[in-house]
């Protein structure tokens, strides 16, 4: 992932500090030199790095630190807070309100992933229960309307565009008017991708903003753009009032620090991060969890949000009742695995867990783990309802075991491994369930 290497470097510097026998000004300077070097190599603007170094130094009073019982903690906290301030301008992003007619305009460079991000954002708010519509006001790029149309159709989101009308301002006006007439909660307007040197396109962007009067203008920034991010972001900020930022392509291996510079250049908060090509690969951004995850401390709030988005307790009432009673069937295990797979790529979920440092994530084979989960789902699909509602004891019958193996296209030993994992977790559930167990509180009855 973008910034993984940066996280590993900073994490390594902080760990090196914890091994220092004496924490003095020399040790702090060495730590800051390593961290600043890592930030510069990741394309973070040099002025931002210098400012961060000064802020950390001003936070650490060496005279007071001499008498502190936990010097390392004081220094680590100062570094953490200043890293957070790099990506947090201290402004809350605008959020659409359900029941009101909200208009959002997307702007950004050509090839930044703007049109795809429009559909991702529409899907995100559709999951929140909003009525969302997409308007394609990009008449400059050939195939722009076709792309938005295909994405919207795949996500089952209404869209508006035109093959005959060449005036993007008119298309934007007509699209917004149509969706407002039909009482849509959120209307997203996609504009032409542009470059800071293209004066005509910037003028067009200003005209669309003036005509549609958006509640929020989102600047889409390519996470791999590098040092050019600062100048490009400033050019957009001078033309329109940028309310928030979406950073895309954060699943690659580029340096990614330039995107951090865009926050300082616009003074606007990062609202979302694009982490892949899939329609659901858009993560809500929060500075502290982001830096925490970057340094291998996990993102518990993100993990909780992912679980809440699944509405687990509502969908799996039978499973929750079984767990409360201390019962764990094969069907319950299948439902659990389906929940995990619906939360997104395993590497993303693992990255939210505390203790999963960037170095550990590099050794995690997400593709292999996903393949194994899919294989398990095939095994469950090959079982009868009676087998699923049991504890797996019936599979002591080899004929039954071989029948399921043939149906799932796996070896019998793989089914035995699945049954062993089910048995291990089942024992834990038995201990925690029952009338006096901790899980009994989950019983909706």
Rg (CA), the chain: 26
Per-residue pLDDT tens digits for 343-396: 555 555 555 544 444 544 454 455 666 777 788 889 999 999 999 988 888 998
Helices 287-294 and 71-87: angle between axes, nearest 10 degrees:
120
User: What's the pLDDT at 439?
Assistant: 43
Query: Are the CB atoms for 275 and 283 separated by under 8 Å?
Result: yes
Helix (H, G, I), strand (E, B) or coil at 161: coil
- pLDDT average, residue stretch 423-435: 67
How far apart, in whole angstroms, are the C-alpha atoms of residue 282 and residue 276? 8
Q: How far apart are CA 277 and CA 308, in angstroms?
A: 23
- Give the dihedral of Cα atoms 371, 377, 378, 379; nearest 10 deg: 110
Residues 73-93 pLDDT 10s: 888 888 888 888 888 888 888
For 307-313, what is the mean pLDDT? 49
- Given the structure tokens 């953490």, which residue do they identify? 80
3-state secondary structure of 246: strand
Most confident of 229-238, 380-389, 417-426: 380-389
Alpha helices in 182-329 (DSSP H): 199-212, 229-239, 258-266, 287-294, 300-309, 312-315, 317-325
At 193, the pLDDT band (50, 70, 90 cuts) reads: confident
pLDDT category of residue 217 using cuts at 50, 70 and 90: very high
CB 441 within 8 A of CB 313: no
Q: Quote the CA–CA distance of 60 and 54 in Å, as a whole number.
A: 10
At 434, the pLDDT band (50, 70, 90 cuts) reads low
Token pair listed for 361: 């994530």
Distance in angstroms (rounded) separating the CA atoms of residues 236 and 232? 7
- Banded model confidence at residue 196, pLDDT cuts 50, 70, 90: low
Q: What is the mean pLDDT of residues 284-313?
A: 62
- Range 113-127 average pLDDT: 93
pLDDT of residue 435: 53
Q: Regarding predicted confidence, which is higher, 219 or 22?
A: 219
Whether residue 278 is predicted with pLDDT greater than 80 in this model: the reply is yes
CA 152 to chain centre: 20
Residue 335 vs residue 134, higher pLDDT: 134
Tokens of 275: 């982490």
Tell me what pLDDT residue 364 has. 46
Give the pLDDT band (50/70/90) at residue 69: low
Q: Is 129 left (phi over 0), alpha (psi -120 to 50) or beta?
A: left
Q: What is residue 110's predicted lDDT score, i.e. its pLDDT? A: 84
Q: Of 41-45, 217-221, 358-362, where does mean pLDDT reach its minimum?
A: 358-362
pLDDT of residue 218: 94
SS3 235: helix
Average pLDDT, the chain: 80
pLDDT at 277 over 50: yes
Per-residue pLDDT at 195:
64
Q: Is residue 420 over pLDDT 80?
A: yes
Q: Would you call 445 helix, strand, or coil by DSSP?
A: coil
pLDDT at 354: 45
pLDDT of residue 360: 45
């Amino acid at each position: 992932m973008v910034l993984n290497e940066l996280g590993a470097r900073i994490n390594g510097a902080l760990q090196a500090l914890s091994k220092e026998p004496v924490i003095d000004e020399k040790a702090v300077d060495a730590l800051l030199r390593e961290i600043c070097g890592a930030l510069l190599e990741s394309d973070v603007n040099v002025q931002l790095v210098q400012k961060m170094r000064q802020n950390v130094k001003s936070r650490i009073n060496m005279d007071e630190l001499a008498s502190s019982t936990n010097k390392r903690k004081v220094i680590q906290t100062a570094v953490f807070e200043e890293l957070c301030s790099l990506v947090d301008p201290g402004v809350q992003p605008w959020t659409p309100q359900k029941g009101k007619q909200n208009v959002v305009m997307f702007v950004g460079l050509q090839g930044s992933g703007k049109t795809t991000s429009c559909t991702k954002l529409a899907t995100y708010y559709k999951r929140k229960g909003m009525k969302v519509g997409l308007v394609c006001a990009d008449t400059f790029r050939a195939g722009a309307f076709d792309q938005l149309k295909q994405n919207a159709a795949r996500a089952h989101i209404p869209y508006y565009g035109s093959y005959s009308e060449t005036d993007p301002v008119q298309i934007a006006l007509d699209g917004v008017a149509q969706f407002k007439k039909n009482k849509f909660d959120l209307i997203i307007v996609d504009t032409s991708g542009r470059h800071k040197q293209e004066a005509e396109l910037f003028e067009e962007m200003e005209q669309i903003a003036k005509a549609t009067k958006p509640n929020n203008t989102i600047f889409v920034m390519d996470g791999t753009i590098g040092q050019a991010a600062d100048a490009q972001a400033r050019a957009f900020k001078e033309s329109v009032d940028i309310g928030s930022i979406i950073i895309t392509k954060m699943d690659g291996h580029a340096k990614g620090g330039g995107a951090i510079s865009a926050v300082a250049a616009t003074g606007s908060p990062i609202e979302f991060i694009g982490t892949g090509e899939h329609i659901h690969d858009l993560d809500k951004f929060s500075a502290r969890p982001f830096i925490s995850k970057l340094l291998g401390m996990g993102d518990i709030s993100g993990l909780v949000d992912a679980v809440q988005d699944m509405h687990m307790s509502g969908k799996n009432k039978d499973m929750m009742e079984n767990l409360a009673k201390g019962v764990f069937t094969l069907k319950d295990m299948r439902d659990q695995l389906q929940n995990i797979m619906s939360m997104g790529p395993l590497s993303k979920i693992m990255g939210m867990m505390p203790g999963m440092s960037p170095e550990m994530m590099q050794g995690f084979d997400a593709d292999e783990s996903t393949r194994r989960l899919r294989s398990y789902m095939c095994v469950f699909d090959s079982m009868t309802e009676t087998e699923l509602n049991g504890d797996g004891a019936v599979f002591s019958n080899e004929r039954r075991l071989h029948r399921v193996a043939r149906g799932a296209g796996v070896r019998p030993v793989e089914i035995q491994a699945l049954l062993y994992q089910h048995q291990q977790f089942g024992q834990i559930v038995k201990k925690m369930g029952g009338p006096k167990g901790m899980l009994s509180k989950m019983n909706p009855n």
